[in-house]
Chains A and B, each alone.
Chain A
Amino acid sequence: NAGVTQTPKFRILKIGQSMTLQCAQDMNHNYMYWYRQDPGMGLKLIYYSVGAGITDKGEVPNGYNVSRSTTEDFPLRLELAAPSQTSVYFCASRRTSGRSDEQFFGPGTRLTVL
């Protein structure tokens, strides 16, 4: 199992550009999440999904969009990049049931908007 994979690892965008951060998991997890981590801060939830076709906003959704057409993939879209979106982005997934809320994280995408 590759677990949770994210591409790209690094990206530099100019203000106003768009991009899609890719996330895929091969564990057949229904729940998937997107977080951002700013320096000195904890992870903030951007969007999450409880299954294919179902998504919902987290704490900081403004400036982002998501889609979930398959169980495996959960891409995050930035339409008009702004410097405030400079951050490290983590995708995570977890099983629907289980004894804990353990989430499995990808290695992250470091995004810089200039």
Chain B
Amino acid sequence: DQQVKQNSPSLSVQEGRISILNCDYTNSMFDYFLWYKKYPAEGPTFLISISSIKDKNEDGRFTVFLNKSAKHLSLHIVPSQPGDSAVYFCAARRRMEYGNKLVFGAGTILRVKS
């Protein structure tokens, strides 16, 4: 049962334009959402996050939007740069009795063309 879905396996964008990566979730118990970026042969690195009590969080060129009623979040990158080419994972946090767990989506490969 995929609780976090990234339905677009890949996305190609021209340098300078906006990249929009989407993520849907099914579990209403998730209370925090994170985006990770991964380059080949490296581990994922944290990019940006948003609490379920907010609908927007911005950090430089990166903005995450959360629509709780639709159980949907999106990551906007403006302007896109070639160095943004990577795999982007959406993750959702579920609080457990001992520690929290993250559930990851399958990832979206972003290619930014120069």
- What total of chain A residues lie within 8 Å of the partner, measured CB to CB? 25
Most chain A Cβ neighbours within 10 Å, of B4, B34, B49, B98: B98
* Distance (whole angstroms) from the CB of A72 to the closest CB of chain B: 17
- What total of chain B residues lie within 8 Å of the partner, measured CB to CB? 25
* B contacts with A: majority SS: strand
Q: Which residues of A contact B93 (CB under 8 A)?
A: 101
Q: Are A40 and B9 in contact (CB under 8 A)?
A: yes
Partner of A102, one of B4, B42, B49, B103: B49
Q: Which residues of B contact A35 (CB under 8 A)?
A: 104
Q: Which residues of B contact A92 (CB under 8 A)?
A: 43
Show the binding face of A for B, using Cβ within 8 Å. Answer: 4, 31, 35, 40-45, 48, 50, 54, 56, 58, 90, 92, 100-108
